[in-house]
Amino acid sequence: MIDLNQYRTLPQIQEEIKERMVARRKEKHFSQQKLAARSGVSLGSIKRFERTNEISLTSLLKIAGALEDAESFDQLFARQHFESIEEVIALAKSNT
């Protein structure tokens, strides 16, 4: 059975990322102003992100660094996805 809940839309993913960032900001007792100062991202960009979920990748990385969570990006696109078992077998053969 296919679990349709595993498929999220882009707006849902953006909202979840924003919510986690806000939660981390609050855990660290950072105001938006303090986060802006520590990250080098403008206060307006942080407010826009928290209001609309829109932010540049560069700004998001700076915010992650200021919140001491930049390592979360290390695994982005790192995992290889396979379309078939044949692809897995071919990769295994090529690595031997």
Domain housing 25 = 8-94
pLDDT of residue 76: 82
Using the predicted structure, report yes or no on whether residue 84 has a pLDDT greater than 90.
no
Residue 87 lies in a domain: yes
Average pLDDT (1-16) is 78
Model confidence pLDDT, tens digit, residues 43-75: 999 999 999 999 999 999 999 999 999 988 888
CATH code assigned at 57: 1.10.260.40
65 belongs to a structural domain: yes
The answer to whether residue 25 sits within a structural domain is yes
Computed from CA positions of residues 55, 57, 61, 62, in that sequence, does the dihedral angle turn out positive or negative?
A: negative
Residue 37 contacts by C-beta under 8 Å, 6 or more apart in sequence?
A: none
What pTM was estimated for this model as a whole? 0.75
Distance (Å, rounded) from C-alpha 32 to C-alpha 21? 11
Flag whether 78 is in a domain.
Answer: yes
29 conformational bin, left if phi > 0, alpha if psi -120 to 50, beta if neither = left
Q: What is the pLDDT of residue 2?
A: 53
Q: What is the pLDDT of residue 3?
A: 56
- DSSP H or E segment with residue 70: none
